[in-house]
Amino acid sequence: MALERTLSIIKPDATKRNITGRINAMFEEAGLRIVAQKRTRLTLEQAQAFYDVHAERSFYGELCEYMSSGPVVVQVLEGENAVALNREIMGATNPANAGEGTVRKEMGLNVQENSVHGSDSPETAAREISFFFGEVEIIA
């Protein structure tokens, strides 16, 4: 199996409730290593650029406003099959449909305030990681 990296964002609903450490513990206990991390606040323009693949979706405007409404923690997670593993750890987009023990089931509030984002493929991960981090900022 290949060592892989994925981009994760702990979203404003989670930073607001001060549960970033609990979420990081879930990543680490499941075998992912946090190899880069920073707390930041996205501008509306950054959120729009990051989520541009969703520009045609009905929720795009609200999503970008929400993602720029408070602090986020952006991070690079590394591990065997990190992209797929992180999607398992997060659970379904809508917390109501997420499996027991997943981050979104345990922490998510609703389909928008779902506590975490994770890349959906290795190709997306490469694009999303470079959106936030230079190679020298990622220390394995």
Contact pick of 37, 46, 112, 124 for ligand CMP (by CB under 6 A): 112
Query: Can you tell me the distance from the alpha carbon of 124 to that of 110, in angstroms, rounded to the nearest whole number?
Result: 24
Out of 117, 125, 128, 133, pick the active-site residue.
Answer: 117
Query: Can you tell me the distance from the alpha carbon of 7 to that of 120, in angstroms, rounded to the nearest whole number?
Result: 9
Q: Does 124 bind ligand CMP (CB under 6 A)?
A: no
Q: Identify which of residues 16 and 54 has a Cβ nearer to ligand CMP in the complex.
A: 54
Long-range contacts of 40-46 (CB under 8 A, 24+ apart): 40/71, 40/72, 40/73, 40/74, 41/68, 41/70, 41/71, 41/72, 42/67, 42/68, 42/72, 43/68, 44/68
Which region among 30-38, 95-103, 106-114, 132-140 touches ligand CMP (by CB under 6 A)?
A: 106-114
SS (H, E, C) 10-37: ECHHHHHCCCHHHHHHHHHHCCCEEEEE
Q: Does 105 bind ligand CMP (CB under 6 A)?
A: no
Q: Does 81 bind ligand CMP (CB under 6 A)?
A: no
Q: Identify which of residues 72 and 140 has a Cβ nearer to ligand CMP in the complex.
A: 72
Residue nearest ligand CMP, CB atom distance: 117
Q: Does 37 bind ligand CMP (CB under 6 A)?
A: no
Note the residues at the interface with ligand CMP (CB under 6 A).
54, 59, 63, 93, 111-112, 114, 117
Catalytic residue IDs: 117
